[in-house]
Chain A
Amino acid sequence: MTYLAKPKFHHPALPKNALGYTHRDYEGAVSTLCAGCGHDSITGAIIQACFELSIEPHRVAKISGIGCSSKTPTYFLGNSHGFNSVHGRMPSVLTGANLANRDLIYLGVSGDGDSASIGLGQFAHCLRRGVNMVYVVENNGVYGLTKGQFSATADRGSKSKRGVINTDNSIDLVAMALQLGASFVARSFSGDKQQLVPIITAAIAHKGAAFIDVISPCVAFNNHAGSTKSFDFVREHNESVNRLDFISSRMPIEVKYEPGTIEVVEQHDGSKLALRKLAADYDIHDRTAALGFLQHHAAKGQIVTGLLYVEDEAEDLHGHLRTVDAPLNALSEKELCPGQAMLDNFNASLR
């Protein structure tokens, strides 16, 4: 965590996007998370994705639950409205917000405790409904904010920092999202911006329920030997299906590989990543195959990452409900109130 306030002035040399905004315009307050927390890398990826997409920063609504992960919306898009709601209930708040104004971009940020434990129900139902949103789970396998208890995504057999072995089966949110009908499903790793930024970019561009599970090691409580969500474990077991064409030049850790190849990359901390890419003919349009693929690799102890499924022409919740094109929150008395004349008819029918 850094204690220096970010300078507000804009350096004239900062690159600008199509709308003339710099990277700075997409930043938020200074993070108060632990130094090295995976969540901060995801924040960085979100900022990068929004910058690259040239989104108007204030046209995004950031909504989260409770947890370290759910705090992160304060750290990006400082000119957007944000809503840090209650634990496990981001999806319902986001759904309601989306119904009120279909014209904004909805970015839901949650944790694995927030989505897979207390909020599993809402996670499931907002995906079923096809809410047009990007739903990011910053998945560290623990409750960071309450100091390291297992969450429901912790793998069976993994070891907590205190040495406790998890005996419960884990929930794979990606498999569930596929089953629940999410129209964009991906998994990535906070330490892999090369993969993550393009996935977020593609998810924002997607119209429908986009779900991204981002493995995000908790350096305070889940980055030790025996944890299956640690940096090392994930790097070693990452089974990437693909990579989208979206390479940014200013990444601190550069991980580059080609589809269908194995590449070993040495990090600046000296650790090695062994990343194998699936052949480029992985079919991102086959929901059933995606599920099989996931399970097949999970059985081998591999964590599949990449864009696993996308439905190009998905209909979103507003489509299901056939709501008007104008945002509901912009309708006035004239459009909403039927007036006394209609009431007279109604009264007459009740006598």
Chain B
Amino acid sequence: MPTANPISSVNDFVVRFANVNGSGSASANEMFARAVMRMGIPVAPRNIFPSNIQGLPTWYEVRVSEAGHLGARGGTDLMVAMNPQTFDKDIAGIEPGGYLLYDSTKPLPASKFRPDITVIGIPLTAICNREYTDPRQRQLFKNIIYIGALTALLDMDAKVVEQLIGEQYKGKDKLIEPNVKALHIGRDYAILNLQCPIGLRLKKADKVGDRIFIEGNSAAALGAVYGGATVCAWYPITPSSSLADAFTRHCAKLRVDPETKKAKYAIIQAEDELASIGMVIGAGWNGARAFTATSGPGISLMQEFIGLAYFAEIPAVLFDVQRAGPSTGMPTRTQQCDILSCAYASHGDTKHVLLFPEDPAEAFDFGALAFDLADRLQTPIFVMLDLDIGMNHRLCRPLAWDDFKKYDRGKVMTAEELEAGKDFGRYLDVDGDGIPYRTYPGTHPSKGSFFTRGTSRDQYAKYTEEGGAYVDNMQRLLRKFDTAKDLVPRPLQANAGKLTKYGVIYFGSTAPAMDEAIHMIEARGHTLDRLRVRAFPFHSSVNSFVAGHDFVFVIEQNRDAQLRSLIVNECGIDPVRLVPILHYDGTPITARFIAKAIGDHLDKLKVKPMKVVS
């Protein structure tokens, strides 16, 4: 009997699988997460993987939360410890009163365990050796066997997993039967030999609704399909490669002409990121909707071209799936660390539009919207994803599209308009919004052609080094950026139930952790208004939000408080009014972290907690 009371919880706990990369555990673990979802219980899985193909440790964390908290929680209630390399560390990470499931084929001394946890041994290797002769099968079915054992330990309906196996191997029906068999080997072993269920249990619920389970990269890529992207140029880099892969997959299904079998898209795996952004800019200049997907190191390489697109005013869309930097940093860990390098990308005075989706559903929306914005504003648009959103399955609202929506191709002068004698000045601000008209190459035999260059030019695109013309143009670019403020998604505000002097600003993948943390903060007797920033340039409501509070916490997943710097710089706000809360160890930010940091800060300021009525 463990020295701490075993944790007892229904539909609210964290299971963590510790495996060896390349051992085939990923699909089994994912099946477990899906089974929880199929039981109507919200679930948030996260892959924690190394920059390696085979052999290094990998973890899969499944947060089960009937209350619907989808951010990482921190801590482990049930550890499925399948990797001897990390065994000790994995055990240390279990919450007091938690559970350990391990392969007990080789007996381990009691000193390997902790007295305050429940240890559950299953001789997995021995069972596999007995049941299978092929070493590959022994490895693969071991994963299914422990899933089978979990169905008994957690009191799950095995039918749900059986059905998932049927779906997964549809078309390869030979594989269904042995997998179902392995599932039952594990389940039967647990029922016969172990005390089932343990304190952690899964009970059918109805809290998933019509939500879908999708990775942000796949959703963003589908957004690009719906947004009309026809050219994609990219260079492989984790965690963005799966976005280009998903675009390829979606296009193969959705964008092939049924009659001719020809492609209504072009995808190029370029030789590097300089070439990928160059192709995107060439295509954008020539009137196609084009994008690249990359991560921090790629953004660094693209700097010169991004400045060209800004200055020459060429539409381009960049999906930056952020990972921990600087340099190669922690390439398979998450951060929000490219905010400044994207907002001000390139030399000279530049500013760029950034979009901050919170989850895959918004990644889809913003992924499509980015192309309208790029055409409307004739400038690069950055969709700022991160590894946490991009590479993990996340439960989110179903993707939706308005079939009456027309693409906004922006201000493009047509051959008819030119023929009718409309004045065309490529950099002429005819409407006062800073956005000039452009023409596509090849439009008219004698009118509307112009020379695109990164050098200074006048309103009719003629080269000039005249200071006045240069300044006029730079000022117009600022006006255009101002116009962008009202075109990009507005911040979303959620006020505390009562009047409060404090606020919190957050963005992107921090959202689920923040939404959860607010309850924990309130439980400590503090109240906060919340503002989720969804784009840069900042809407005026960011200024008024800060102005309306004594101070505002800014939560980010980087070391240098990059969003805070951007707010200070662009909104002219006194930095002391913005308190940075920073999480940047490469793991996704948690509600516990946020609640503690903000709670401690408010406590320290001797903010008197309002009486908590129990």
Residues of A whose CB lies within 8 Å of any CB of B are 56-59, 61, 63, 73-74, 78-86, 89, 91-101, 103-104, 121-122, 124-125, 129, 318, 321-325, 328-329, 331-333, 335-340, 342-343, 346-347, 350-351
Contacts and interface: CB of A to CB of B under 8 A. Distances in A.
B401 A99 contact: no
Nearest to A119: B274
A100 B275 contact: no
A311 to B, nearest CB: 22
Contacts of A332: 407
A347 B284 CA distance: 30
Nearest to A56: B445
A14 B277 CA distance: 44
B8 interface: no
B278 A89 contact: yes
Given A321-B263, A340-B400, A343-B399, A96 B441 contact: no
B263 A99 contact: no
B443 interface: yes
Given A81-B452, A321-B266, A333-B228, A351 B287 contact: no
Contacts of B441: 58, 61, 80-81, 97, 101, 104
B607 interface: no
Interface in B254-269: 254-255, 257, 260-268
A161 B233 CA distance: 42
Given A93-B285, A96-B285, 18 more contacts: A59-B442, A80-B441, A81-B440, A84-B452, A86-B308, A89-B278, A95-B282, A99-B283, A100-B230, A100-B231, A100-B285, A101-B286, A322-B262, A323-B263, A329-B288, A333-B407, A342-B254, A351-B212
Given A101-B286, A331-B230, A336-B264, A92 B274 contact: yes
Given A58-B443, A100-B230, A351-B212, A324 B286 contact: no
Contacts of A323: 262-266
A325 B260 CA distance: 10
A318 B268 CA distance: 11
10 contacts: A56-B445, A83-B451, A84-B455, A91-B275, A95-B233, A100-B290, A121-B274, A336-B264, A347-B210, A351-B213
Contacts of B271: 121-122, 124-125
B439 interface: yes
Interface in B424-448: 439-446
Contacts of A61: 286, 441-442
Given A89-B274, A92-B278, A81 B264 contact: no
Given A83-B452, A125-B275, A58 B262 contact: no
A103 B440 CA distance: 13
Contact of A122 (B212, B278, B286): B278
B398 interface: yes
A86 B304 CA distance: 8
B255 A336 contact: yes
Contacts of B454: 84-86
A59 B405 CA distance: 32
Contacts of A346: 222, 399
B345 to A, nearest CB: 14
B545 interface: no
Contacts of A59: 442
B225 interface: yes
Contact size range, B? 35 or more
Nearest to A126: B275
Contacts of B305: 86, 89
B275 A92 contact: yes
A104 B451 contact: no
Contacts of A63: 282
A351 B290 CA distance: 30
Interface string B556-589: 0000000000000000000000000000000000
Contact of B288 (A78, A100, A337): A100
B279 interface: yes
Nearest to A95: B279
B254 A100 contact: no
A98 B285 CA distance: 11
A346 B260 CA distance: 24
Contacts of B284: 96, 100
Give the interface centre of B37, B211, B268 by most chain A CB atoms within 10 Å. Answer: B268
Give the interface centre of A97, A122, A129, A331 by most chain B CB atoms within 10 Å. Answer: A97
Nearest to B453: A84
A80 B449 contact: yes
Nearest to B396: A350
B445 A328 contact: no
A121 B278 CA distance: 13
B113 interface: no
B406 interface: yes
B450 interface: yes
Give the interface centre of A63, A73, A95, A124 by most chain B CB atoms within 10 Å. Answer: A95
9 shortest interchain CB distances as A-B pairs? A92-B278, A96-B282, A100-B288, A96-B279, A81-B441, A329-B287, A100-B286, A93-B282, A96-B283
B453 A324 contact: no
Given A78-B449, A97-B286, A337 B401 contact: yes
A100 B442 contact: no
Contacts of A122: 271, 274-275, 278
Interface string B378-413: 000000000000000000001111110111000000
A165 B210 CA distance: 74
Interface in B196-242: 208, 210-214, 222, 225-226, 228, 230-231, 233
B270 interface: yes
A99 B279 contact: yes
A57 B440 CA distance: 14
A93 B212 CA distance: 38
Contacts of A78: 449
Given A93-B279, A329-B230, A331-B264, A101 B398 contact: no
B395 to A, nearest CB: 10
A67 to B, nearest CB: 13
B281 interface: yes
Contacts of A340: 400-403
B316 to A, nearest CB: 10
A318 B208 CA distance: 45
A96 B274 contact: no
A61 B443 CA distance: 11
Give the interface centre of B283, B290, B406, B454 by most chain A CB atoms within 10 Å. Answer: B283
A18 B407 CA distance: 40
A214 to B, nearest CB: 22
A89 B302 CA distance: 11
Contacts of B402: 340
Contacts of B458: none
Contacts of A91: 275, 278
Nearest to B463: A74
Contacts of B403: 339-340
Contacts of B264: 323-324, 328, 331, 335-336
Nearest to A128: B271
A343 B225 CA distance: 11
